[in-house]
Amino acid sequence: MGWMTERNGQGSYGWEEQWMKGLIHIYCGDGKGKTTAAAGLAIRAAGNGLQVLFVQFMKNGPSGELKSFERFDNIAVLRGEGSSKFAWDMNDSEKAEAQRMQEAILENAAGQAGRYDMLVLDEVIGTCGAGFLEIQKLYDFLDHKPEKLEIVLTGRNPDGELIRRADYVSEIKKVKHPYDRGIHARKGIEQ
pLDDT at residue 182 in the model: 83
Burial of 153 (0-12, 13-18, 19+ CB in 10 A): buried
pLDDT at residue 9 in the model: 45
Which residues, listed in sequence order, are joined to residue 120 by a DSSP beta bridge? 54, 152
Residue predicted with more confidence, 176 or 26: 26
Whether the model pTM is above 0.95: no
CA distances from 178 to 88, 126, 181 (A): 24, 22, 5
Q: State whether residue 53 is helix, strand or coil.
A: strand
pLDDT at residue 181 in the model: 83
| Amino acid present at 159 | D
pLDDT tops 80 at residue 2: no
Which DSSP category does 1 fall into?
-
Tens of pLDDT, residue by residue over 31-70, are 999 999 999 999 999 999 999 999 999 887 888 889 999 9
Q: What CA–CA distance (Å, rounded) separates 95 from 88?
A: 9
pLDDT at residue 83 in the model: 63
Query: What is the average pLDDT score of the chain?
Result: 87
> Who contacts 144 (Cβ-Cβ below 8 Å, separation ≥6)?
none
| Amino acid present at 150 | E
Asked which of 10-14, 18-22, 71-75, 176-180 is least confident by mean pLDDT, the reply is 10-14
Q: What is the mean pLDDT of residues 137-147?
A: 97
Percent of residues, the chain, with pLDDT higher than 70: 87
pLDDT at residue 46 in the model: 97
